[in-house]
Every structure is written in structure tokens, then in C-alpha cells.
């Protein structure tokens, strides 16, 4: 079972007042359009009054124009050196996954005691600052789903087994051996920067053959003994909407991961499989509502950094937090699936997630 996350709201408020060394962090590479995702993420964090800055770990090939856009949105820009896996004939699930090994550099950001990593194609719809107060020494992330075709190389996919619904198909131990360990999606996780861990990661990478899901597979292998699952509301992989609808209540989702093919809001056409769904259309529109909201633009000094708390607000930058509900409560009523996700933790309330 995952960690006890009840009553963490009060804890993170007290911690924020003490100005701890904490930050959200994302990753950017190349001269493509992913900078739009980072801008959307920065504005989304402001909207939910996040108390900590957004650091962007970026490769040298990110053009200055894109860096300026991110600084203008209050992001802390940190250039990093690329990290490459050992040479091999491995075919990655997506060709661009090879650059994602460079995300390992965020363990070198030791000026921060704790960080919450978020992919650039993620949007935060409710405050998640309380994740910084989880017990140290564990690696926190949300379990992934094995049901999409990108998993076709795995035995899980071939036998229709998914850790999201292990009761649906029993793992055949006689044929395949012990069931695989829990596997997380690396689009969102809570980690503690450490030069020792950074060195251990890079040393391990040298002797670890690349696999189709690149750094995600590698991180799962490296942190398998300390991985602690957190509820899916902290990283809704969109495939859950059609693969496991009984487990999704959109009103309770805090973080949406636009990782399904065709779902990147800034590239969305609605033509790819499942992208014509009304819930997907609404989630894409909601991302654009945040991206286009000028009230959420950064109003502080250039270059980001810590800011004074003003009017009870919070978050990277000095924008006023615009009112607005989480996903599932916008202009239209989204299709809902009543399932087993716990309600989002709030101060003073037990969300039913306990250590085990």
C-alpha cells in the first residue's frame, strides 16, 4: 500500500512558511514546441497556488527564444549536460525516448532538499504541495497501465495482464515465474536530490542495457526496492479513461498526463484513436483555458525565484490565482466512471491511503 497522506495539507503550509529548499522540476530538450507544455505547467501551478518554484532542466539545444519565454513565466532555467545510455540495438517504444535519460541530471540539483518532477505534457489541476511532506527515503510515483500497444513487447501485454486490475488476469507463475514488481510511470515522481544518488544512477546506467521505455524502465529498476505507490489522482495517464474507466473519477483527479498519442493539447487535432472522446476534448480545452489565461502570467521579477506570498496566494510567480474547478467540473459535464480512486487528500481528512 502507499503512504499515509492524510492531514498533509497543514504540514505543507507550515513548511512553506519556513522557506524550505523545495521545487517542482520539469525537463525540456530541442527546438520543438514542448516549451508550450512548460508554459502551461507553470501557469497551472500558479492557478492552484503552488508554494514552490518550477525549475526547468534543459539541454543545451533549447534555443534562447524558448528560454526567454520560460523565464518570462517565472521558471528557473537550469541547463544540463546530456546523458546517453550505452550503445545498443534496442528499439525504443518512441524514438525520442533516448533523450529522456538526461532527466537523471535532476538528482544533481542539491540546492533543493526535495523536488516533485512533472513531465512537460502534464497539467496540475489541484494543489499537490503536500507531496513534499511525504516520508523521506522512498520513491513516490503512480503505477502505470500496461494495456496500450506501446507495451506490446512485454509479457504483461501479451497475456492481457495489468497491475491496475490484477484480478482480471492472474499472473501465470508456472509459465512466467514470479509476478513482476510494481511499475511506475516516470512522468511524475517525488525525489530527493543527492550527489551520491546521482553518481550511483550514472554508474548503474553504464552497465544497464537500454530497454524500450528508456529512463522509465531504468528508474523502475534502480528504485524498485524503495518505490512506494501513490494514488492515480496524482498522475492520470489518459489511457486509463478507456482502459480502466471504472477506476477514474475525473472530479477527484489532481494531475493529468497528456501522454496518449494525439493528446498533447498544443498539437491536438482529434483525429488519432480515442481523441474524439468528449472527456478528452474537455481536458484539452481545459488545458487551453489555463494556457490562454493572461491572469496567470508571471508578474514578478524576471528570472523567477522565490517570491513574497501575497493575499494568501502561492505558487511560482506573482500572478493572481484565477478561480476554476479541477478536471471534470468545467463548462460541460464529463463522462464519469465511479471507481476505486480515493478522494483527494485534504487537511484534517483521512483519504484512506495508509502504509502497508
Angle, to 10 degrees, between the axis of helix 214-222 and the axis of helix 195-206?
120
Q: Which of 43, 103, 138, 247 is catalytic?
A: 103
Q: What is the DSSP letter of 225?
A: T
Backbone φ and ψ of 187, nearest 5°: -75, -15
Residue 338, class by beta-carbon neighbours within 10 Å (0-12 exposed, 13-18 middle, 19+ buried)?
exposed
245-249: long-range pairs with CB below 8 Å, 24+: 245/337, 245/339, 246/337, 246/338, 246/339, 246/340, 247/164, 247/165, 247/337, 247/339, 247/340, 247/341, 248/337, 248/339, 248/341, 249/328, 249/336, 249/337, 249/338, 249/339, 249/341
| Residue 21 among the catalytic residues | no
**End-to-end alpha carbon distance in the chain:** 5
Of 356, 121, 149, 165, the closest CA to residue 255 belongs to 121
- Which residues touch 111 (CB under 8 Å, ≥6 apart)? 21, 193
Strands 184-191 and 139-143: antiparallel
Catalytic residues: 103
Amino acid at each position: 500500500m502507499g503512504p499515509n497522506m492524510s492531514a498533509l495539507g497543514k504540514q505543507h503550509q507550515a513548511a512553506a512558511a519556513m522557506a524550505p529548499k523545495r521545487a517542482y522540476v520539469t525537463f525540456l530538450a530541442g527546438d520543438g514546441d514542448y516549451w508550450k507544455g512548460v508554459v502551461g505547467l507553470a501557469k497551472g501551478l500558479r492557478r492552484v497556488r503552488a508554494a514552490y518554484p518550477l525549475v526547468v532542466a534543459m539541454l543545451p539545444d533549447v534555443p534562447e527564444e524558448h528560454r526567454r519565454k520560460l523565464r518570462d513565466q517565472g521558471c528557473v532555467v537550469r541547463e544540463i549536460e546530456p546523458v546517453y545510455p550505452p550503445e545498443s540495438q534496442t528499439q525504443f517504444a518512441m524514438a525520442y525516448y533516448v533523450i529522456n535519460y538526461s532527466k537523471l541530471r535532476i538528482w544533481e540539483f542539491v540546492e533543493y532538499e526535495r523536488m516533485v518532477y512533472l513531465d512537460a505534457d502534464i497539467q496540475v489541476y489541484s494543489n499537490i504541495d503536500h507531496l513534499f511532506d511525504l516520508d523521506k527515503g522512498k520513491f513516490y510515483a503512480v503505477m502505470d497501465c500496461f494495456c496500450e500497444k506501446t507495451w506490446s513487447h512485454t509479457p504483461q501485454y501479451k497475456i492481457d495482464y495489468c497491475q491496475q486490475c490484477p484480478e482480471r488476469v492472474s499472473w501465470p507463475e508456472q509459465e512466467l515465474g514470479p509476478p513482476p514488481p510494481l511499475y511506475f510511470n516516470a512522468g511524475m515522481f517525488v525525489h530527493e536530490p543527492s550527489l551520491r544518488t546521482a553518481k550511483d544512477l550514472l554508474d548503474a546506467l553504464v552497465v544497464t542495457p537500454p530497454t524500450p521505455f528508456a529512463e522509465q524502465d531504468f528508474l523502475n529498476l534502480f528504485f524498485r526496492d524503495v518505490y512506494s505507490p501513490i494514488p492515480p489522482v496524482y498522475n492520470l495517464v489518459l489511457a486509463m479513461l478507456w482502459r480502466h474507466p471504472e477506476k477514474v473519477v475525473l472530479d477527484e483527479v489532481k494531475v493529468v498526463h497528456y501522454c496518449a498519442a494525439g493528446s498533447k493539447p498544443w498539437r491536438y487535432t482529434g483525429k488519432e484513436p480515442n481523441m474524439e472522446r468528449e472527456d478528452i476534448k474537455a481536458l484539452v480545452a481545459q488545458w487551453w483555458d489555463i494556457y490562454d489565461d493572461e491572469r496567470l502570467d508571471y508578474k514578478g521579477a524576471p528570472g523567477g525565484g522565490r517570491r513574497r506570498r501575497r493575499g494568501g496566494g502561492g505558487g511560482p510567480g506573482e500572478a493572481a490565482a484565477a478561480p476554476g474547478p479541477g478536471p471534470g467540473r468545467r463548462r460541460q459535464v464529463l463522462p464519469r466512471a465511479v471507481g476505486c480512486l480515493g478522494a483527494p487528500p485534504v487537511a484534517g481528512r483521512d483519504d484512506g491511503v495508509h502504509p502497508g
